[in-house]
Amino acid sequence: MSEHDEKKLDANGSSRRKFLKNSGIAAGGVVVGGALGGLIGLNDKGGDTATKDTEPEQQDQALEYFTNRADFDLLGQATERIFPEDENGPGAIGLGVPYYIDHQLAGKWGINAKDYRQGPFFDGKHNPGGEVRLGEGQEQPNLGYQSQLKYHQVYDLGIEAIEKYSQATFNEKFTALDGEKQDEVLVALENDEVDIAGIKSSFFFNILRQSTLEGAYADPLYGGNKDMQGWKMKEYPGVQLSYTNEQVESEEFIEIKPESLHNTFFN
């Protein structure tokens, strides 16, 4: 390999080349077939402790969607009530969930890129009858999402509505409320008691809850699940390229140290 090629690899973020070092990887006592060869850099569990002990800079903890810091703070506090810090470990904020959501809203999910988006949309003015409720809300149980709003707009309107409801009910900003009162706001949101133009508030609540869980448990690549702490709390081993016979058949629970995509393929 030429020096030039080595440099290219470094630029790709590969600190060391990790091709198939361990060709004896096996499950059921059986060596992996040929299809694996050369594809995957196996996780080097030996590791370089000097690198691992250094706290990486969180350059991805900045905003690519939200423009107003107050909106982002409100979002963070709402997710923290859904998935709070406790004796098990960090909550949504500690896990980076608000950054996860920000990054998702800036990307293709935020603009519903893979959804069918052609009209007509039904928004309450059309009611063809029948048992399926068209237009009363956008989460009709049997027809799925039908709103014209894209998810980033749902978040904008949802956050605005939470703030308005807090002001109207408690005469305080949401972020100034104590946890119990914040929960009251979220309960109202969940029970469709908060006005949001175009959608039922429970729809926003459900999407907020789902995003929070995604941010807690998606690979750290996406900005949440900081240091794999979501996986550690859940005793989920993350990216494992193989389990042995003994692991598969064990009667007792086996603790397995989690690994991420970054650790496994790019470290």
Q: Does 24 bind other proteins (CB under 8 A)?
A: no
CA distance 249 to 181: 48
Q: Which of 47, 41, 9 is nearest to 22 (CA)?
A: 41
φ, ψ at 11 (rounded to 5°): -65, -25
Give whichever of 46 and 144 is closer to other proteins, judged by the CB atom.
144
Q: Does 99 bind other proteins (CB under 8 A)?
A: no
Q: How far is the CB of 193 from other proteins (least distance, A)?
A: 16
174 and 163 in contact (C-beta within 8 Å)?
yes
Q: Does 242 bind other proteins (CB under 8 A)?
A: yes
DSSP state of 227: G
> Residues 64 to 93: which contact other proteins by CB under 8 A?
81-84, 86, 88, 91
Give whichever of 68 and 257 is closer to other proteins, judged by the CB atom.
257
Give whichever of 90 and 161 is closer to other proteins, judged by the CB atom.
90
Sole binder of other proteins in the list 222, 229, 263, 267 (CB under 8 A): 222
Q: Is 166 helix (H, G, I), strand (E, B) or coil?
A: helix
CA distance 265 to 267: 6
Sign for the CA dihedral angle at 73, 79, 82, 88 comes to negative
Q: How far is the CB of 178 from other proteins (least distance, A)?
A: 14
Sole binder of other proteins in the list 62, 191, 248, 257 (CB under 8 A): 248
Sole binder of other proteins in the list 218, 229, 263, 267 (CB under 8 A): 218
